[in-house]
Structure 1
Amino acid sequence: MSELNSQLFSAADSLRSKMDASEYKDYLLGLIFYKYLSDKLLVKVVELADESIEAYDTQIKQTELYRELLADEDVKDDLIETLVDTLGHHIEPDYLFNVLADEAKQNIFQLNDLNKAFVDLSTSYEQFSGLFDDVDLTSKKLGSDDQQRNITISDVLKKLSEIDVMGHDGDVIGDAYEFLIGEFASEAGKKAGEFYTPSKVSDMMAQIVALGQEDKKLFSVYDPTMGSGSLMLNVRNYLNYPESIKYHGQELNTTTYNLAKMNLILHGVRKEDMRLRNGDTLNKDWPTDEPYLFDSVLMNPPYSAKWSSDASFLDDSRFNRYGKLAPKSKADFAFLLHGFYHLKDSGTMAIVLPHGVLFRGAAEGVIRKKLLEDGSIDAVIGMPANLFFGTSIPTTVIILKKNRDNRDVFFIDASKEFEKGKNQNKLTKEHVTKIVDTYKKREDVEKFSHLATFEEIEENEFNLNIPRYVDTFEEEEPVDMAALGSSIKDIRQEKAASEKSLYETISSLQYDKENEEWIKGALEVFKRGE
């Protein structure tokens, strides 16, 4: 665990005994986010004042400079306007994170000041609206009265103040942020885990959807079940013009939607480059206005979730080409078809789903057959079990494309590509590289991959169960019966010698009347060979 991650995790100790992980992560993540906004503003102030960061190497000095500049009526308005233009926000000096943390160290911190800071940001700047709603500073779980709540939050502020947020680039901060989500997901189970995709799985999917599109100067990514937003963010690591990406995402859970907004801002995504919506992906299509087709679509939807599957959806342009709707009890194909509908003809889609989508029949079989007949399914990658928080089931990553010139499907069985962890199995960088390189080459590798023709898939009645195409059976080594017989003979001889020795030892024992019956009984047992 890195020093940064250790410090973040340490800050959780003040809340651990008061509430469960699914709740205290909201406080920590909200406060870390506020610290990031505050610390970034101070660094920007030094830059705008045309001063060196070496001369203003502490936040005390930076805050003093900020106060001096705001006290100058000729400078104040221009400074605030420039901060808002470049950062998207400004914070009054009295409400800066470091100022509040210093007050906490002096035991003069007031909860109302932090609350006012949140309210000011949320009401003044649209991108922060609702982002601090889950940091409930009036909750009795923080303490029975204002004084106790003050003490609890003061303790958290003091611990978080030790973190040098600006000493790392934005990606490291984002990684630490996702580390927290991951840590708390493992404690909180499905409550927290439902919005978290392990980073290496996310990384693998991002690499695949970026292939062949690296040089696009304008690139759009869409995640209709975006969770924390990590799937979308990872794509930029594999594009040559990452600053020009447009992020489009939707999330049903409001708390999780807010986390995704925070995560994108933490990674330096400008408000004009993100279009995010808090809503139900399946019941009402979004986006419906331009742009509604994207260069890449990435998804890790809730597995086998329930949905309405109302007959009216047969007229919906997302689903009407496939003859059937995904069943009410399993929305997996509804999510897949929604994402695929929003993919550009030149784009690539990657979606994580349970293995059942590969072989289940009825309506799902009809949809799968149509996708295969259209040549839409490019690859099927079998992932190891127990990779995701909240579920131990093995999953599959399906790669889809439009307008392919063939209908073959490339199968990769990566089910054994993992490192065993304490709670979850993990992919390593080497595992990801092996999977992506194999996907690029699209060649058969014994017991790992196979390029199946459409005719082969048709012969299998459009069943995509991976073992039908990639044989991973390992023959056991033949047993040497002669050696086995000899070994058994040796064991029997050793046993007989041990029993003889034990019989002789017991026979030579001196014993009194009280133990006579027991000793004779034991000797009888040895005589009978029991």
Structure 2
Amino acid sequence: MSAPKIITREELDRLLWGAADILRGTTDAADFKNHILSLLFLKRLNDVFLERRQEIIDEYVKSGKPEDQATEFAEDPDEYGRGSYYIPLKARWAELMKIPENRAEEIDIALQAVEDENGDIFNGILTSVRFNDERRFGGNAKDLDAFMQRLLTHFANIPLGNHNLIDPDILGESYEYLIDRFADGAGKKGGEYRTPPMVVRTIVELLRPQEGMRIHDPTCGTGGMLIGCGRYVEDHGGNPKNITLTGQEKNYSTWAIAKFNMLLHNFPDGKVELGDTIVSPKFEEGGALQSFDRIIANPPFSLREWHGVEADQDTGKVDSKKVKERWQNDSFRRFHRGIPPTTKGDTAFLQHMIEVCNDRGMVGVVLPHGVLFRGGAEAAVRKALLQEDLFEAVIGLPEKLFYGTGIPASILILNKNKPTEREKHVLFIDASAEGFYHEGKNRNSLRWEDILRIVSVFNAWAKPDRLPEAVEQLSQSWIDGYEQHRNIQLERSPNNELRELVNNRFDNELVKVQEAQKVVKEWFQADHPGGRTSLEKFANVVPLAEIEQENDFNLNISRYVDTSDPPPQLDVKAELKKLRKLEEKRDTAEQQMNQLLAELGYEE
């Protein structure tokens, strides 16, 4: 038997995006992403099934069974598990390739068959899209068949078994690469299901999830934040299987993608529920909300329909009194600090997250800046949370970071178990200024140095004497994670050519970390007009008393972090000296001019 083909992350990205190229022009990104991702998942299930099937046959043959009997045993669904699933004959890729016509219908049947066979795992996710839809794929049966044949053939040439992947993580990484590409193409719609990966990385680094923790995302989209927490645990030497990942997502197709994502990242025990977190939270027991060690989220900004109250049919408006009446009686008592405004759900999600956070837990959430300073009910919620000493950090992000919106946002870190030195204080960081992000044509992004700067300042609690060590420790943790994955991939590389590719890739990643470290160190040591330091212009630890007494619980970052440089100090003596010299030159020029005029007869 020949050795399996080993595929790298870069090659897998290229091959998977090639499937999207087949459909481009027939439908938009918001539609075809679900079909591409479903076929990717079906092909992955097929290839892992075939690997496990061969293992079963080999095991029985080795034990003395005839090959035909061993092959028969390999058709027993109970023989499959530990990441492999039984695939019925009609859903196997080789059978789909034989179909002469009506291929879209047969793909739908295949997905249904796999779901029926493994309903406890795949319930509802494989049938979340429909392939047999002529209107979506070219307008007639012939064109539809042609598209399906091209897709089947394309995926047939992409090996997705466990033995084909140079690192178990690359399939999940490539899956997220596809989601990012689709989110970019979907524009505003992309923001409904996807948070930029570097923003996710920033929040995960701030929360520092640990092995054994229960981690929850109440508005999980495609699951990227949960997976980021799992990867963090793995990269820091923990067992990612020894964490609990849970999430809830309202959009059906996005929920299905999140389920795929968890499975492809080897988190089969991750639990993602379908439903509205505010109206119908799924993670509750006996009438009480479950609690978690880490809550991480990027809820929809200022959601108008957060409350579930229908608008009046005549006026088209929602009655604020009905909203207040409904949520004053919330069975989970989430809004005792204040009922959120009828047209803005930001503090609804924030309060929900606080309620599901256990007594030693932390919350990391992305919210629009308005939450920091708006009045009314939101001000009451903000005041209560500050008086409870839950805010640990408020971090301002650059504009145009998120898919589909240009408004700047903030990361809020809340902590029910703040270290003693952080009690009764809040750290403010303004990471929105020019130079603290990569400026793109349509959308900006955070770089490694930007994450390193933010997280190091948070870890050092903005103390200058602690910052160099914090930068060093965080950089080293990234390097250790890269080296861990380098070693995994080198062990799976069958030849020197592939090993060289692996080493080149990770060498490049390490260079990025080293460059980020250098940039942050130079930034920290830079001189500024007026003698202020870079750190002083970037962050400030503020006592709660100042926030209350001088700012009436307003958390607007600009009140606490002054990023401007003072006007230059005027040296009066030096300036007068310059003025006297200019006056002398003026007098000399005037004398010369008068003399010239006299010579020409213009003056007596």
**TM more than 0.5:** yes
User: Which of 192, 209, 232 is matched with 2:226 structurally?
Assistant: 232
- Pairwise CA distance, 1:83: 4.4
Any idea what the Cα deviations from partners look like across 1:336-374, whole Å, max 9, x if unmatched? 110111111111110000000011111100100000000
Residue number in structure 1 paired with 2:508: none
Aligned ranges 1:30-49 → 2 under 5 Å? 30-49=38-57
- The change in CA–CA distance for 1:70 and 1:390 in structure 2 (over 3 A counts) is farther
- Pairwise CA distance, 1:10: 2.1
- Write the distance in 2 (CA, Å) between the matches of 1:139 and 1:111: 8
Q: Are 1:385 and 2:399 matched, yes or no? A: yes
One-letter identity of the residue aligned with 1:364: E
- The change in CA–CA distance for 1:72 and 1:18 in structure 2 (over 3 A counts) is same
Report SS of the residue matched to 1:250.
strand
Residue number in structure 2 paired with 1:89: 85
Q: Are 1:263 and 2:354 matched, yes or no? A: no
Q: Is the 8 A contact 1:41 1:83 kept in 2?
A: no
One-letter identity of the residue aligned with 2:302: S
- Write the distance in 1 (CA, Å) between the matches of 2:103 and 2:271: 36
Aligned residues: 460
Q: Are 1:468 and 2:468 matched, yes or no? A: no
User: Which of 199, 202, 207 is matched with 2:200 structurally?
Assistant: 202
User: Which of 384, 388, 410 is matched with 1:374 structurally?
Assistant: 388
- The change in CA–CA distance for 1:221 and 1:456 in structure 2 (over 3 A counts) is same
Residue number in structure 1 paired with 2:511: none
Aligned ranges 1:71-82 → 2 under 5 Å? 72-73=68-69, 76-77=72-73, 80-82=76-78
Q: Are 1:160 and 2:155 matched, yes or no? A: yes
Any idea what the Cα deviations from partners look like across 1:295-336, whole Å, max 9, x if unmatched? 1101100000012343232233443431x2110111000001
Report SS of the residue matched to 1:142.
coil
- Pairwise CA distance, 1:75: 5.2
One-letter identity of the residue aligned with 2:184: S
Q: Are 1:408 and 2:425 matched, yes or no? A: yes
- Pairwise CA distance, 1:99: 5.3
One-letter identity of the residue aligned with 1:360: R
- Pairwise CA distance, 1:285: 3.3
Q: Are 1:122 and 2:213 matched, yes or no? A: no
Residue number in structure 2 paired with 1:511: none
Residue number in structure 2 paired with 1:190: 188
Root-mean-square deviation (CA), in Å? 2.9
- The change in CA–CA distance for 1:115 and 1:320 in structure 2 (over 3 A counts) is closer
Consecutive unaligned residues in structure 2, runs of 5 or more: 1-8, 308-322, 464-534, 583-604
Q: Percent identity?
A: 33
User: Which of 122, 137, 148 is matched with 2:143 structurally?
Assistant: 148
- Write the distance in 1 (CA, Å) between the matches of 2:459 and 2:376: 33
Q: Are 1:249 and 2:247 matched, yes or no? A: yes
Residue number in structure 2 paired with 1:321: 336
User: Which of 520, 533, 538 is matched with 1:448 structurally?
Assistant: 538
User: Which of 14, 17, 40 is matched with 2:22 structurally?
Assistant: 14
- Write the distance in 2 (CA, Å) between the matches of 1:49 and 1:449: 62
Q: Is the 8 A contact 1:111 1:150 kept in 2?
A: yes
One-letter identity of the residue aligned with 2:536: E
- Pairwise CA distance, 1:384: 1.1
- Pairwise CA distance, 1:50: 4.7
One-letter identity of the residue aligned with 1:157: L
Residue number in structure 1 paired with 2:11: 3
Consecutive unaligned residues in structure 1, runs of 5 or more: 52-64, 487-530
- Write the distance in 1 (CA, Å) between the matches of 2:360 and 2:75: 45
- Write the distance in 1 (CA, Å) between the matches of 2:284 and 2:335: 16
Report SS of the residue matched to 2:215.
strand
Aligned ranges 1:409-448 → 2 under 5 Å? 409-416=426-433, 417-444=436-463, 445-448=535-538
Report SS of the residue matched to 2:458.
helix
- Pairwise CA distance, 1:40: 1.8
373-382 vs 180-189, which moves further: 180-189
Give the TM-score of the pair, scaled to structure 1: 0.80
- Write the distance in 2 (CA, Å) between the matches of 1:111 and 1:168: 32
Report SS of the residue matched to 1:119.
helix
Report SS of the residue matched to 1:188.
helix
Residue number in structure 2 paired with 1:138: 132
- The change in CA–CA distance for 1:70 and 1:346 in structure 2 (over 3 A counts) is farther
- Write the distance in 1 (CA, Å) between the matches of 2:67 and 2:102: 24
Give the TM-score of the pair, scaled to structure 2: 0.71
Report SS of the residue matched to 1:85.
coil
- Pairwise CA distance, 1:125: 1.5
- Pairwise CA distance, 1:24: 0.9
Report SS of the residue matched to 1:424.
coil
One-letter identity of the residue aligned with 1:412: I
- The change in CA–CA distance for 1:48 and 1:347 in structure 2 (over 3 A counts) is farther
Q: Is the 8 A contact 1:381 1:413 kept in 2?
A: yes
- Write the distance in 2 (CA, Å) between the matches of 1:421 and 1:181: 19
- Pairwise CA distance, 1:109: 8.3
- Write the distance in 1 (CA, Å) between the matches of 2:427 and 2:556: 12
- Pairwise CA distance, 1:476: 6.7
Report SS of the residue matched to 1:326.
coil
- Write the distance in 2 (CA, Å) between the matches of 1:237 and 1:13: 30
- Write the distance in 2 (CA, Å) between the matches of 1:110 and 1:442: 59
- The change in CA–CA distance for 1:117 and 1:336 in structure 2 (over 3 A counts) is same
One-letter identity of the residue aligned with 2:424: R
- Write the distance in 2 (CA, Å) between the matches of 1:181 and 1:29: 9
- The change in CA–CA distance for 1:207 and 1:403 in structure 2 (over 3 A counts) is closer
One-letter identity of the residue aligned with 2:88: E
Residue number in structure 2 paired with 1:524: none
- Write the distance in 1 (CA, Å) between the matches of 2:87 and 2:34: 21
